Amino acid sequence: MHPRPDLIMLQCAEDEVQIGLDPRWSIRMNSLTPQQLAALLSLPASPILSPQQRKDIGETLLHTLQGAGALLPGPPASADESALLNPDARGWAHLCSHARGNDVIDRRARGTTGVLGLGRTGVRIAQGLATAGVGRLILDDDRVVQRKDLGLGGYSLQHVGTPRRSSSAQLIADNALTSSDCRTVPLRTGDSLSALDVVVVVGFGTLDPGITWRLMAEGVAHLPVIWGEASVTVGPLVLPGRTACWQCIDLARRDADHAWPLLVAQLVAAGTRNFVEESTLAGIAAALTVGHVLGVLDGRPPTRHGVMTEIRLPGAEPQQSVWQPHPECGCHTFN
Ligand SMILES: [Zn+2]
């Protein structure tokens, strides 16, 4: 038996300790003898439970500690040592009944995610997914790095003029946490997307209907991240045939504004030309996106479908709206 890695043990009184900080799992032990108190406080620094600690704590409290996940069976496994080096495994371990965040990381390692659009937001998303343990990233963007792409996400002056696709892959390869685990692969013309678990698409003003059609036709879950002049939206997460797709949203906007299809055509033609990815918005949008993607990979489906989160300057407080399938879209006919 050994104390779990990252065990938090706090003294509350002369005869009382608290184990853990989060009210979802923290417990208190009181009426402790001095020997029990000292033995409990020594646990976080102990790689294994010594016979003396076992004796001082007593079988009743040991049983409680096991039930609370503070003590794990057997000696520390080598997997726990690697978990200690991985912040994501350490964080998720608290939410795993078996106290092994490595299981979450292992699942992500088998996942494949596409990121289409590798400006500041896209490369930040790719970095976030790689460091969170995603095993394979398909990166696609045929543009080059510009000065407006530098900083957030990791592009630096040396990348200006280089292809975003290869430079973003190099940034991920250079990341000490991911270099040995995450594989980055360019998307080649004609490649099927159907093997991807989820695809993030960064768009400007709207989503290219051609990309929407392809993702829907191949039945791939996808998450649009769409920039405005001083705002960005994340979502909704599109599960083809089950939730509102981007065309559903375009049709709803057409219902409200007859000129919307004309505006979409012009926005798609203009591409990124008139847009910048402001730092605060890009950071928040990237974090939200990584969270949504990991939810898919971890098997934690969204509690509500059709949710779009919008972040606007100056407040940058996320606001949510919910989109329903449009009756004229017919996206439920895919799959
Ligand atoms: Zn639709």
Res 101 pLDDT > 70:
no
The pLDDT tens digits of the residues spanning 289-311 come to: 999 999 999 988 888 999 999 99
CA-to-CA distance for 19 and 80, rounded, in angstroms?
20
> What pLDDT shows up at residue 225?
98
Å from CA of 260 to ligand 1 middle: 16
> Which residues of the chain form beta strands (DSSP E)?
2-3, 9-13, 16-19, 27-29, 71-72, 112-116, 136-140, 183-186, 198-204, 222-227, 231-234, 307-312, 319-322
Domain boundaries, the chain: 2-76, 78-104, 110-333
d(CA 234, ligand 1 centre) in Å: 17
For residue 123, how far is the Cα from the chain centroid? 13
What separation in Å is there between the alpha carbon of 225 and the centre of ligand 1?
17
For residues 310 and 322, give the distance between their C-alpha atoms in angstroms, rounded to a whole number: 11
pLDDT digits (tens, 9 = 90+) for 155-177: 999 999 999 999 999 999 887 66
pLDDT greater than 50 at residue 196 = yes
β-strands 319-322, 307-312 pairing: antiparallel
More confident residue, 334 or 31: 31
- Inter-residue contact 31 to 15 (CB < 8 Å): yes
Q: Output the pLDDT for position 55.
A: 96
- The label of the residue with tokens 């779990």 reads 4
Distance between Cα 330 and ligand 1 center (Å): 6
- pLDDT for 24 beyond 60: yes
Ion ligand 1: residues, CB within 5 A, are 245, 247-248, 329, 331
Q: Measure 325 CA to ligand 1 centroid, in angstroms.
A: 5
Q: What percent of the chain has pLDDT over 90?
A: 67
pLDDT at 180: 60
∠ CA(83), CA(86), CA(90), 5° rounding? 65
Phi–psi pair at 322, nearest 5 degrees: -120, 130
Residue 102 pLDDT more than 80? no
- Return the CATH number of the domain spanning residue range 110-333: 3.40.50.720
CA atoms within 13 A on the CB side of 121: 30
User: Is 256 a residue whose pLDDT tops 60?
Assistant: yes
Q: What's the predicted TM-score (pTM) here?
A: 0.89
Residue 96 amino acid letter: C
Task: Report strand pairing: 16-19 vs 9-13.
Answer: antiparallel
